[in-house]
Amino acid sequence: MKNKLVLSTIFLFTCFNTVFAQKTYTGNEAADWIQSQRYIANPLIDSKSTPAEVEKAVKILERTITFMDSLPIKQLAAGNAYLYYRRSDVSRDIASGYTLLGKKDQALNALDMMLANGTSSGTVDDLENEPTLDGIRKEPRYQAIIKKLKEEGVLWKNTAFKTPYKPNLSDAEKVAGLSLLWSQAKFNFANFALLDIDWNQTYLDYIPKVQATKSTAEYYKVLINFYAQLKDGHTNVYVPDSLAGEFYSRPPFRTELIEGRVFVVKVFSDSLLKSGIVPGLEVTKIDGQPVIDYAEKNVKPYASSSTPQDMEIREFSYQLLGGSKNKPIEFKDKKGKLTNRTISRTGYHDVKGLKSIDYQSIGGVGYLTINNFEDNKITKQFDSLYNAEISKTKGLIIDIRYNGGGDDGIAFHIIKYLTDKPFFTAQARILEHRSTPDAEPSWDYRGIGRQSPNGKEFYSKPVVVLVGPRTFSAAEDFTVAFDYMKRGKLIGMATGGSTGQPVPFSLPGGGSARVCGKHDAYPDGKEFVGVGIMPDIAVKPTIKDIQNGRDAAKEKALEILNK
């Protein structure tokens, strides 16, 4: 609870005079005040600004630094990373201001302070491309700072591990890749508390496994299986581009496990539809093996999943038909007729994926489907739909059952229309490491997120949200906020149970990986990672529903809103 440490006295600085004011602050609130001063100052630090404007900005930042360098704030920052690293940000900002004013020594001192305080090695790109620093670019001290940042980048960006693809990597590369996966998880993975695993012993167990592989493809299968032991949907290994076709190709139709059997539920190619691959067909065998046995042996060991419902989707939907070869698939229609087909995984020219956002009105009830929060156009499309259609409805269904996530900013943009009060989003924590012998990491609590309502538009009518095991990541952030504010019912099935901030990195041979570096929970601490968000009204599809083209969850939502 370090970020809950309270200051009894805080020094606030206004105008050109120092004013002392009594105020109780938390670490995050102090950091937010610093950010507010940066937002005022930074627009004035520009090559086109007048000297007076730059001088004004520098004065604001100097007062902000005095505030940060006061003993109470330093003590608070020692236990709050969000506050601590604002010192580096302000130092970088003021260096630009000093440079524009011709105060080179002060600018370089500020950059030295930024480096001493600690900053991301990625800052080097910002510094080298920042025109306001042109005045010190040739200074030896500036060049030394850039060199130091680049040296740190070599260490933390794992440059040496980023080797090119070869059909069979060297033994050294194979062990190095496994070691990198192990260390990144050990220092960044946020969800070890959900597991019963000795991660160090698991690493030792896998060293002979990677050494025994005879090809890069075989090696990556072992790495994928290694990270699957962490049982986290945001912790994954991705093969090199040269192997993508072999690992990721799949035909354009979707399957699901329903009542213990596997069925085709969606087809995205007209040519496949015309060939008889239609929703409602049962998949009975793959490559001559009963489909359940095939999935357990060939899919499940390589699926990184956070919950049983997440695993079911990965095993019988996302990854069931993945691979490069044409595997014969046995189908059974609803009359019981068996047919054996060989379905190509590639070469389709008529694939139609799900729209990012879709809308229709059903008897005065709006039915809004949002299949991802990745497309930045969604906010404008929603705004347009709201003004033209949604605002006039008597109730609204928001369907995010197939939404795998993206940017939670897009998600919250939509929720802002559904309330006239500020609302809370998930609370977050990350691991904090200390450079003392044998010191275990501690949690750095980032606090509870808070969003303001739209302010102009407020949809006050009833709302229902449809969710399921494919509701994932930022879509769960949306669901948490909606559920916590008690805005309406959740209908469907439990969500995937995985969100967080993945830490990406490169692997030998051209592959990559990511590890979940942030643990989220409801604002009141209720867990959903590793569990899923439970619906208020559970509706699970049946075989009869699929074969008859019926959407029971959607029908239930309409029934509730029409009451």
CA dist list (Å): 152 to 59, 138, 285, 433, 533? 32, 21, 53, 18, 40
Domain spanning 357-562: CATH superfamily = 2-enoyl-CoA Hydratase; Chain A, domain 1 (3.90.226.10)
User: What is the helix (H) or strand (E) element at residue 258, kind and residue range?
Assistant: strand 253-258
CA torsion 91-93-98-104 (nearest 10°) is 60
Q: Where do the structural domains in the chain lie, given as residue ranges?
A: 2-156, 250-342, 357-562
Q: What was the pLDDT predicted at 343? A: 86
* Comparison of pLDDT for 19 and 92, the residue scoring more: 92
2-156 and 357-562 agree in CATH topology = no
Name the token pair of 395.
């109730």
The one-character DSSP state at 436 is S
Q: What was the pLDDT predicted at 210? A: 98
Q: Considering the chain, what is the average pLDDT of its residues?
A: 90
Average pLDDT over residues 33-60: 94
Tens-digit pLDDT profile for residues 267-304: 999 999 999 999 999 999 998 899 999 999 999 999 99
- Whether the predicted pLDDT of 193 surpasses 50: yes
- Whether the predicted pLDDT of 18 surpasses 60: no
Q: Measured between alpha carbons, how far is 12 from 65 in angstroms, rounded to an integer?
A: 11
Tell me the residue length of the chain. 563
Residue 324, phi then psi, degrees to nearest 5: -100, -30
Confidence of residue 435 (pLDDT cuts 50, 70, 90): low
Query: Taking the domain 250-342, which CATH number applies?
Result: 2.30.42.10
Q: E strands along 303-454, which residues?
A: 328-332, 338-342, 357-362, 365-370, 395-399, 423-432, 442-451
Q: Which of 208, 241, 209, 214 is nearest to 225 (CA)?
A: 209
Q: Measured between alpha carbons, how far is 347 from 446 in angstroms, rounded to an integer?
A: 47
Q: Measured between alpha carbons, how far is 519 from 499 in angstroms, rounded to an integer?
A: 7
Q: Measured between alpha carbons, how far is 142 from 123 in angstroms, rounded to an integer?
A: 13
Taking domain 2-156, whether its CATH number is 1.25.40 is answered by yes
Residue 373, phi then psi, degrees to nearest 5: -115, 35
- Whether the predicted pLDDT of 21 surpasses 60: no
Residue found by looking up tokens 């939404």 in the block: 403
